Structure formats: C-alpha cells, structure tokens
Structure 1
Amino acid sequence: MRKINTLLWCLTLWAGVTLSFKSLAQDANYERDYKRAVALYKTGEYNLAMADLLLLTARKYQHGLVPFAQYYYSLAALKNNRPLESQQMLLQLRERFPEWKKMDEVAYLLADLSFRDKQYNKALEYLAEITNVSVKKDVEPLKRVYINPVQDLALLKKLNQQHPSDKIVALRLIDVIQRTSNDKADLELSDDLTNRFGIAPIKPANDVTPMKKNTNSQSKGYYNIAVILPFKVKEFSPNQRVRSNQFAYDMYEGMKLAKAKLQQEGILVNMFTYDIGSDPEDMLNVVNNTNFAQTDLIVGPVYSEPAKLAADFAQSNGIYYVHPTSLVTDLSATFSNTLLLQPSFERQASQSFDYMRSLPAATSKKIAIYYGSSRRDSTLAAAYRAKATASGYQVSDFRRTREKLDSTATISSVNKPGHIAVFSSNENDGNKLLTLMDKRHINVPLLANSTAFNVGGVGANTFNSSPVYIIDTEFIDIAKTQVRDFQNLYFSKRNTVPSIYALQGYDLVLFFGRMLHKYQNQLRNGLDVRSYDDDYLLSGFNYQHSNDNQVVPIIQIDDARWVRVNAQ
C-alpha cells in the first residue's frame, strides 16, 4: 500500500510538472503570436492583423494579453474601415474584462464610433466615464470635431437636456440659436446658457464708439425710441402664417398702438426700427452711426452679443436699454442702465416664496420643490431653494418631475411640508403633483409656474383637493376694460386676436414714453419713486431700486376665473 501511494504521488507530481511546462509553452506561443499580429498592425497590414488577432481573442485563452489582443483587433478593424466589427469587439472587451487598466481608451474609441454613427448621447455618455488625465485631454477636441458641425437645433436642445453640464454642447447650442432661431423660448435658453457658462463675448472688429448725447435732446418736444428686433425682413413672406420670429412683429404692432395713445396724451414718440439678428457687426454699424446718438430709449436687441453692444452704448450715452425677453440678470448687473421688461428668475422665486410663507395654511418651515427638464425649470427651482434656505426653511425634497415621484418623493402625510412648489415647462407636471398629493393625503398649498399647468384650459375642479397658486408673469386680466378695448382695437386693425407680445409691446412703449416725458434726463429718479399699474394691460411696472421688473403676479382660480391674489 505504501508503494502504491508513493507511485500515485509521483504520477501526480509528474502530471503537474508536465501541465506546467505545457502551460508555459502555450503562454510562450501566445506571446509570440500576439507580437507577430501587433507587428502586422503597426506595418499597416490590417487584414492580416485582424485575422491573427481574432484567433487570440477566443474565450479559451486566459492570458493577460487577451484584452490587448481585443483592443488591437478593434484598432485594426477601425483602420480597415470596418467600424461595426471594431465596436463589437470593444463591447466584448468591456464585458469580459471590466477592470482592464486601459478601459478609458476603450471608452474613448466607443465614443468616437458612436459619434460616427450619429449616436451623440451615447458618445457623450462614454466620454463621461473617462477619468485618466492623459486620455481626458483628448475628450474636448473629440467633442468639437463631431458637435461643432451639428446644425440640428432640436437635437442640440435634447443633448443639452441630457448633458446639462457639457460646455461644448452648450456653446454649440448657443451658436445655432443665435444664428437660426427667433423663437422666444430659444432666446431665453441662449441667455440662460450664456449666463451659466460665462461665455466670453465675441470681440467685434471695432469697438462701440461712445457718442456724446445732445444735451437738449429731451427738450426737443419728442422722444426717439429705437426698436431693435429680429424682423428678418428679407425672409418675410405675407403668405407665411406662422413665423418663428412672430413675436417681433406682434410686439411692434402693440408698440404702434401705444404710440398713437401717447400722441392723444400730447406725448410725441418716434419709433425707428432696426432689423438686427445675432450678428454683432450689424449692431455695431447701428450704434456707430451718428444719427443713432439722438436715441432716447433702446428696446432690444434680444440676442446676447448685439444686446451687450446696445447695453454698452446706452451706458456710455446716458440713456436706457430695455431687454424685452431676458430673465437673467447678467447684463443688468454689468450695465446699470439696462432694464429687464420682466422679472428675473431670482425675483420670481423671492416674491413667490414670500407670498407662500405668508399664507395661514403654510405653517411648517419645511418645503418640497420639484422641477422639469428644461434649464429654465431648474434655474427657477434653484433660485427658490436658495431663497427658502436663506430664510431658514428646510427643503425636505428636491428632485426632477421626470423621476418616478410615486416611489421616490419623500413627502407624506407624516413628513408633510408647509407648501410644495413645482416649476416645469411640461403642462402635465402640475397635475402629476396634485395626483401625488391626493394619493398621499397631503393637503397643503401648491405653488407652480404658469407652464406647469394648461392654465387656459384647466377646469376649476382640478384644484378641489389643494389650494393652487400660479406664478404668471404674462397674466392678462380679461375683466379689465383696457384689455377688452385693446383687443377690439387690435382686431379691427389686424383682423386677428392680439398675442401676449402685442400687449407687452403696448405697455412697454406706453410706460417708458410717459416716463421720458415726465422725468426726461432723470428717468432713474422716476423709476425709483413708486410702482406703476395705472391703466396698463398687464400687471404694470416696478423698478424701484432694481433693474428688473419687480411685478410678479400670482394668480388663483376663483369661480372659474383666474384672479391675481398678491398685491404690489
């Protein structure tokens, strides 16, 4: 028995040694074949390299060079104009060797291949995985190669929503908006992105030439208002019923009616129109024209670079520039003579929060905030959270509405906030929050911006469960006599119902025309005196010690009619 055991032990030892030598031999053969295949790749023999490397990627091999063989196969396939095979091998490599030390290079190659296939979102996701510094330095150039040629505005906006922190995407989106879009929402998005990323202004070929304003300009008996909007007259077609820049025409029609109203009051206003889009050179030509020095008020332009030139000119020449669409304060913070026609995001958040916490029903100093997918939504939500936190409130829940709120939201009948806020550009999100509140038996005030609900089509029974308050900076009180009269007058002249932009244009010229007439060169003093709601169509103006309009209407439905509930 002892001899048998010894014999078995010797046989086992011999088999182990044999297997070890065999394994070493196999490893040596693998390394030899691998080096030969890589040499073929480096000499440009991509077909031969692919054939040899493919054999070395078989799952039977456990050699440490297998992931390298897969990687070089992918490179060879890419060089051989066979991108699908390259991509498939890279995906196999990620699945088989997820901890491989060169996985960042794999992500970079997959991003390149995804870009080539116009799968931009997937490409950006791959690039976001990269942490290696030496690889990361090539990420931005790769993005520029594929993102900068993109002209599809809808695609760029979607990519910006999916990758809100990506500066290359943001820069490209701004550029395309500035060159191709006149849509008001797009212009606001461009302003938001410019403000967020701190993009340096484009340096014009020549600087603005400050012109000394005629000291007697206000005593000449009339006032010159420069209306600088993207009319795109060269592209105008009377047969085109819907235009992306329709707001410019509607606003100007309202301005013309205000001019006639001012004339009835003995105030003479001249309006000079300038068709300026996104090209700063066009604006530069305007402000450097000697006749432009006679301007008493500038309305527009709306694009960021021309707007900076207009703001600079107004500041240098002691007049005021009114931005008709922007909700961000970057220009007004830099140029004290720049005014925003509407309240900024920060203003809307501050005043609506102050109103909500004043409600008797909002007793708890705990709130929940939900927001939609657009940059406008998240900006307003962030401003609201900042205001609440600074006021000593606890934000118990802060998340996007696109998440599954039924399962992720932390509010409940036990963890009940004093009030809830939802800011969204999706008109279904308001009802989504009301449904959630009803399911969880939470009966507290809900604050929303006007785009979170279909305010025009919502029924009073929608708000039976909880009191709902809406921020509506474009609120039109249809019960006002002035509004009905304006609508009738506009319809008689244009044979169409006036849009909100027509009402804004009317109020803007009527207000500033009166202010110029009364306060002349001391316009700032007049703005600081009080708020003005008088006979304006919308909710009036308040620039007391501010550069954005402080009037933030908050409305609530009352007997099937929307009414304003916060007084200025």
Structure 2
Amino acid sequence: MLLTFTRWRWLALICLGLWLPPLAALAQAPAAKPAASPTAKPTAAKPMASPAAPKSAASKPALPRPAASGAPAAPAAPRRYPPGEQGAHYRLGKTALDQDNFEMARRELEPLTAPDARFARAADATYLSAVAATRLSQWAEAEQLLNLLRHEYPTYPNLPDVLLLQGQVSFEQSDFDTALRALTELPDTTLAAERENLKAAYLPRLKDRATWQRLLARHPQDAALGRAAAEFLVAAGSETDRAQLDQLVARFSLDRRRYVIRPTPRAARKASYNVAVLLPFELNDPSWQTQRKNQFVTDLYAGLRLAQDSLQRAGRPVQLFAYDTGADTLTLKGVLALPELAGMDLLVGPIYKSGARLLARYAQQHQIACVNPLSQDAALVADNPWHYLFSASATTQGREAAQFAFSTVGGGRPAIILHEDSKDEADFALAYQVAYEALGGRVAARRPFNPAADESVAAAFAGLDLAGAGHIVVASDSYRAGRQTFTALRAVPAAQRPALLAPGAWLDSPRLEPTQLGTGVTYLVHPKYFDAAAPGYRRFRAQYLERQRLPPSVFAGTGYELLLYFGQLLHQYGPSFQAGLSVEPVVPGAVFSGLGYPDGAHDNQHVPFTKLERLDVQVLNPPLPR
C-alpha cells in the first residue's frame, strides 16, 4: 500500500476537521421608500472553505499564476498532448499542486485523465486532478473525476484513498448516502481512524430528520452514524424521539447519562423582551444617493416597528433597540463591543455577509438567538444553534423544488438545470440535482450562465435536448433568462415540450408577459409569495399605509413577518426557544405564505410553489392553517 508514511499527518489534520489527501507522496508513487428613520443608539465607533494542500518540502520553481479576475475562467476544451510530452505536463501539474496553484494543476493534468490519452500514469493524474478540484471547491467536477478513476482503473493501488476522498466530496455536496456508501467500501482496518473522523466532522451538519431515518435504515451497524443520530435526537428534544434514542443507546453502548431527552426548561417569563436591530442605516451620510440605496433598510425597519405595535396590542410587548452598523465591519465591531448588547434577548441583522459572520460568532459566544433577515446562504447557519435565516436558504429551495418536481412531473425523463453563475443560484442547482437524483431521477445537464450577457444565456441553451427532457429548471431572476427560455421552448413541438420550473420573480418582470407563464406546464418557485387578497396581508398593508403614506415593499413585509413570528416565540418559550421552535409545525404567515423551522432546521423550510391559472396565482402547497 502506497503513501503510508504520510498518513500520520492526515490523522492529525482530520482531528482538527482539516483532512488532506496525500499529495507529495503520491507524486512519488509508481505508476498505476423611506420610512421614518430610526433613532439609532450610538456605537463605539459612531456617538470553514476547503483546506489548502500542504506545501512541498522540496524547493520547487515558482510557477506563473493566472491573472486574477472577477470569476474563474471557463475550462478550456480538452487537449491532447503528444506522447513524448505527457510526462513533462504530469510533472508540471504535480508541481503546480504542491505550490497551491490548483487551477494550473487542473489545466495540466486534465488531458492526461482520459483513457484514450494512453498515459501510463493516467490513474495518478486523475486522482491529483480530483484533489486540485476539491481545493477549488469544485465538488461536482471532483466527483466526476473520482467516478472516472474508479470505473476505468479499478485496480488502482491507492483506491482506499480515492474512496476516502469520495466520502469528503459527497459530504460536501450533502449527499450523505453516497458518502457513507463509499466509506463502507473501505476495508475495516484500512484508514479506519481517518474514515471515522471524516464522519464525525460531517454528520453533525445533517439536520433533516427524514435523511437521518433513511441512513439509519441503510447502515444500522454504523457506530459513528448512530452516535451522530443520537446527538441529533437529543438536540431536537422531542418526546416522540425517546424510544428511538433508547434503541440507539442500547445498540451502540452509548452513555445513557449523556444521551437523554430532557424537558425543555422554561426561562422565567418576562413582561417584555429586548430586541437589538443591527442594520446599515448609515445615518452619518444624509445624501440622497445613500438614502436611495438604503431604501430597503428603512423599509425593513419600518416593518419591524409595525410588528412591534401589533405585538403590543396582542399583549406580547417587545422593545426595539436600533444600532447603525454602517457599511463596514469596523463599525459593527464597535457595536458588538457595547456591554448592553449582551443583555438582549434577540438579535436581528445584519445585511452584508462579512458582518453576518461576525454577528453569528457573537450570538454563539453570548448565547443570544440571532436572525438574519435577508440572506439565503445556508453556510451562515451551519453548526451554530443560535443563528437562523428568516428566509429559506438556496439549498432548501433547491431540495424542496426537486421533491416537488419529482412528485408532480415525475422522473421518467431527465431534468435540465440552468442557473446563474452566482453562489445562491449555484447552491440551488447543486441541491436540486443531489435531491432529484437521490429520488431516482436523472439530470441530463446542469449549466451556469452570466445573466448580464445575452450570448452567455443563449450558449447555456445551445445543444440541449429539450424534446427529450421531462422538465427544465431555470434558476435566475433575469428577464434575459426568461426571454431565452420561452424562445427555446416555443421551438419544441407542444406534445414534446418539457415542463418548466422557474422563479416566481418572473411574474414581477415588466419585460416578461404573464401570458407566457400561463401557457404550458409552468411551475414557479416562489419563496417570497404573498396573497394580496388575504386578510392578513390587507390588514398589514392598511396599517403600513396609515403610518408611512406609501404601500409596503417586500422588505417591509419581511421585517413585519420576522418580528411578529420570533416575538411570539420569545413570549412562548423565552430567549432559548430553539427546542420549542423545532417542534412547531409549518404555519401560514401573516404576510407570506408560510413559516416553519421543524426538526432543528435553521432556515425557513416552507417553499411555496405556484402556478398561473387564467392569470390567477394558485399556491400548490399551502401550509395547514394554525
């Protein structure tokens, strides 16, 4: 077995959650509108990505790096090296990998991976290229390379290392089934410590109860899985889980004193709760440009204030304390240094991602629940029991959309996924593919595009077999994407035209005709859907108009719904409402379609799907009434 002398380093790094595949050793292996501005309190300033590969100990010549750009360059078309040059390109790729120049490593090694290249060390080149892809967080590409390696080179002597890397790649894509299946293929005594530490690092990220149950049924004797499942059941704190928890404790000889579901302690009831609102009001800049740019912030705060009044009338008062975090993290750090902030019962904000990470750490350290009002990034709330997203994350939207499509359209014909080249849309597309394939469906193509460039949008549709697809998913609010989608679908005979899953935002685009969305089999992913005719929304709109003299924006609705929901939780369960929240069902919202964080979820799990019927929007999955 090769690479043995480097494994001590793996074990130490896995214990820190930083697993690294063997690189240096493999390189030597043999072949094979504004609302009223808030009165902000003065601030002090105003009165985990994938690990890098190890450096090689040997001195290596510096390699040229590609020029920085706003987005990674599209991969070049596959090349072929003359047989006499293959070895030199292989060595150059290994050197690039050792010098952390992962893009160059992939570029040099990729042509050597194809079986028809007839390179003697194609298996090594494929593995190293997969490692470089993981360092670039190109998880889907890494998985393709690993699948190629296992299929074309089944006798590869470093196959255990391939299986271990496959486990990490699948875990990173939230494909827990494939990850555990790959790790199970490892012999019991091979890389045992590394395998168990990999499970220990990733299994706690799983928050979906149904997935837990499926994994336990498929791997009933996996001790690491059993321990992680027991931790999940204890954290969920539901009495209905007690019997299963007892089974896990007995099966895996766990400490019964540790794995106990205890009644949720009720904090001493308070007459009123304090809520800190940390938003970039930028009150020090009264220019019209800043005020216009920050319209959504003042709308959001106006919604919060209106919800405060509603809670007061309902006998559930909360006190709002507004803090101007400015547009930089330095100002936010000044706010977080204020001693009074540690006495708050709930934190709301901030807006920008860098500030969100800071506030998330503060919330965890001081054990104060924090709700991000706008973000859809599931990574922000991973492994933090005190941090929530008000919205459904892009990952949740993708997973729920796949389940909806499979149950509605069916999985007999493949799906096609097109998405913007941005993080949220990429997360949606990946989660969609993983969930759809886990259900037994097949994805024929998944392509990114630049929504600002007509040629990029057109290229994404080029060569697609739309007539052979069961449905097409387009993850982009851009009108260009909508226009190109309808152009492409019109070219397909009506009898063979696939169903369409599109963003609900297309309904609000003045450049897209509603009649287009009402033709054919078109479904809309509508996370911010609200029924303007519903009594709750009409009451909210009338109150907002009375106070602000303007109709409410979606941001005002967000602020209103957020504080109304979490303010009620504070009065029901106290500041540590996590366990109580996890057993609350998904319920209709006062403004939006629904809200719910069941089974320990930290983002809204209700994703409305709608359909246009005679220009009337119909919700296909409304939550049950309260």
Same fold (TM over 0.5): yes
Match of 2:371 in 1: 322
Inter-partner Cα distance in structure 2 for 1:218 and 1:474: 35
Cα offset for 1:396?
Answer: 1.4
Match of 2:440 in 1: 392
Identify unmatched segments of 5+ residues in structure 1.
Answer: 1-103, 141-163, 168-194, 197-214
Inter-partner Cα distance in structure 1 for 2:349 and 2:515: 41
Report which stretch shifted further, 508-517 or 271-280: 271-280
Residues 294 and 125 of structure 1, relative CA distance in 2, 3 Å threshold: closer
Residues 457 and 476 of structure 1, relative CA distance in 2, 3 Å threshold: farther
Deviations 1:178-230 (A, max 9, x none): xxxxxxxxxxxxxxxxx99xxxxxxxxxxxxxxxxxx9985331100000011
Counterpart of 1:421, as a letter, is V
Counterpart of 2:443, as a letter, is V
- What does 1:50-61 align with in structure 2 at a 5 Å threshold? none
Please say if residues 414 and 469 of structure 2, whose CA atoms lie closer than 8 Å, have aligned partners that are also in contact.
yes
Please say if residues 278 and 306 of structure 1, whose CA atoms lie closer than 8 Å, have aligned partners that are also in contact.
no
Residues 374 and 453 of structure 1, relative CA distance in 2, 3 Å threshold: farther
Please say if residues 367 and 394 of structure 1, whose CA atoms lie closer than 8 Å, have aligned partners that are also in contact.
yes
Match of 1:342 in 2: 391
Q: Choose which of 222, 226, 229 in structure 1 pairs with 2:279.
A: 229
Give secondary structure in 2 for the equivalent of 1:352: helix
Q: Choose which of 365, 370, 390 in structure 1 pairs with 2:418.
A: 370
Inter-partner Cα distance in structure 2 for 1:466 and 1:447: 11
Please say if residues 450 and 471 of structure 1, whose CA atoms lie closer than 8 Å, have aligned partners that are also in contact.
yes
Inter-partner Cα distance in structure 2 for 1:122 and 1:218: 51
Inter-partner Cα distance in structure 2 for 1:262 and 1:566: 28
2:319 aligned with 1:264, yes or no?
no
Report which stretch shifted further, 540-549 or 524-533: 524-533
Deviations 1:471-504 (A, max 9, x none): 1211121111222222222222222221100000
Match of 1:303 in 2: 352
Please say if residues 586 and 594 of structure 2, whose CA atoms lie closer than 8 Å, have aligned partners that are also in contact.
yes
Inter-partner Cα distance in structure 2 for 1:253 and 1:378: 32
Match of 2:341 in 1: 292
Bigger Cα Rg: 1
Give secondary structure in 2 for the equivalent of 1:428: helix
Please say if residues 376 and 394 of structure 2, whose CA atoms lie closer than 8 Å, have aligned partners that are also in contact.
yes
Match of 1:543 in 2: 597
Residues 218 and 459 of structure 1, relative CA distance in 2, 3 Å threshold: farther
Residues 463 and 312 of structure 1, relative CA distance in 2, 3 Å threshold: closer
Give secondary structure in 1 for the equivalent of 2:416: strand
Match of 2:477 in 1: 425
Residues 287 and 514 of structure 1, relative CA distance in 2, 3 Å threshold: same
Inter-partner Cα distance in structure 1 for 2:536 and 2:612: 21
Give secondary structure in 1 for the equivalent of 2:382: helix
Counterpart of 1:520, as a letter, is G
Q: Count residues in correspondence.
A: 388
Q: Choose which of 298, 311, 316 in structure 2 pairs with 1:249.
A: 298
Residues 461 and 403 of structure 1, relative CA distance in 2, 3 Å threshold: closer
Cα offset for 1:267?
Answer: 1.2
Cα offset for 1:406?
Answer: 9.2
2:270 aligned with 1:220, yes or no?
yes
Match of 1:92 in 2: none
Residues 166 and 245 of structure 1, relative CA distance in 2, 3 Å threshold: farther
Inter-partner Cα distance in structure 2 for 1:454 and 1:493: 26
Match of 2:608 in 1: 553
Q: Choose which of 592, 616, 619 in structure 2 pairs with 1:564.
A: 619
Inter-partner Cα distance in structure 2 for 1:271 and 1:434: 47
Please say if residues 443 and 465 of structure 1, whose CA atoms lie closer than 8 Å, have aligned partners that are also in contact.
no
Deviations 1:240-293 (A, max 9, x none): 596222221110000000000001001111100111145444333333433222
Inter-partner Cα distance in structure 2 for 1:125 and 1:362: 33
Match of 2:504 in 1: 450
Cα offset for 1:564?
Answer: 1.5
Cα offset for 1:307?
Answer: 2.4
Residues 351 and 138 of structure 1, relative CA distance in 2, 3 Å threshold: closer
Please say if residues 479 and 512 of structure 2, whose CA atoms lie closer than 8 Å, have aligned partners that are also in contact.
no
Give secondary structure in 2 for the equivalent of 1:487: helix
Please say if residues 277 and 301 of structure 1, whose CA atoms lie closer than 8 Å, have aligned partners that are also in contact.
no
Inter-partner Cα distance in structure 1 for 2:555 and 2:608: 17
Residues 375 and 451 of structure 1, relative CA distance in 2, 3 Å threshold: farther
Higher fraction of helix: 1
Identity of aligned residues (%): 26
Deviations 1:60-117 (A, max 9, x none): xxxxxxxxxxxxxxxxxxxxxxxxxxxxxxxxxxxxxxxxxxxx99x979x88xx9xx
Cα offset for 1:465?
Answer: 4.2
Cα offset for 1:456?
Answer: 6.4
Counterpart of 1:247, as a letter, is F
Inter-partner Cα distance in structure 2 for 1:432 and 1:240: 34
Residues 362 and 444 of structure 1, relative CA distance in 2, 3 Å threshold: farther
- What does 1:373-522 align with in structure 2 at a 5 Å threshold? 373-400=421-448, 402=456, 404=458, 408-413=462-467, 416-441=468-493, 442-451=496-505, 454-455=508-509, 458-463=512-517, 465-522=519-576
Residues 290 and 458 of structure 1, relative CA distance in 2, 3 Å threshold: same
Counterpart of 2:473, as a letter, is A
Residues 166 and 525 of structure 1, relative CA distance in 2, 3 Å threshold: closer
Please say if residues 530 and 591 of structure 2, whose CA atoms lie closer than 8 Å, have aligned partners that are also in contact.
yes
Please say if residues 316 and 568 of structure 2, whose CA atoms lie closer than 8 Å, have aligned partners that are also in contact.
yes
Counterpart of 2:557, as a letter, is L
Inter-partner Cα distance in structure 1 for 2:421 and 2:339: 46
- What does 1:73-92 align with in structure 2 at a 5 Å threshold? none
Give secondary structure in 1 for the equivalent of 2:292: coil
Give secondary structure in 2 for the equivalent of 1:236: coil
Inter-partner Cα distance in structure 2 for 1:375 and 1:136: 25
Deviations 1:522-562 (A, max 9, x none): 51232122235355111231111201110111111122122
Inter-partner Cα distance in structure 2 for 1:126 and 1:385: 21
Counterpart of 1:552, as a letter, is V
Inter-partner Cα distance in structure 2 for 1:122 and 1:355: 32
Cα offset for 1:165?
Answer: 12
Cα offset for 1:430?
Answer: 2.5
Match of 1:182 in 2: none
Please say if residues 327 and 345 of structure 1, whose CA atoms lie closer than 8 Å, have aligned partners that are also in contact.
yes
The one of the two structures with greater contact order (alpha-carbon pairs below 8 A, sep at least 6) is 2
Match of 1:177 in 2: none
Counterpart of 1:317, as a letter, is H
Please say if residues 431 and 453 of structure 1, whose CA atoms lie closer than 8 Å, have aligned partners that are also in contact.
no
Identify unmatched segments of 5+ residues in structure 2.
Answer: 1-60, 80-88, 102-132, 137-171, 174-264, 450-455
Please say if residues 518 and 612 of structure 2, whose CA atoms lie closer than 8 Å, have aligned partners that are also in contact.
no
Please say if residues 279 and 326 of structure 2, whose CA atoms lie closer than 8 Å, have aligned partners that are also in contact.
yes
Counterpart of 2:602, as a letter, is N
Please say if residues 322 and 339 of structure 1, whose CA atoms lie closer than 8 Å, have aligned partners that are also in contact.
yes
Please say if residues 555 and 565 of structure 1, whose CA atoms lie closer than 8 Å, have aligned partners that are also in contact.
yes
Please say if residues 351 and 552 of structure 1, whose CA atoms lie closer than 8 Å, have aligned partners that are also in contact.
yes
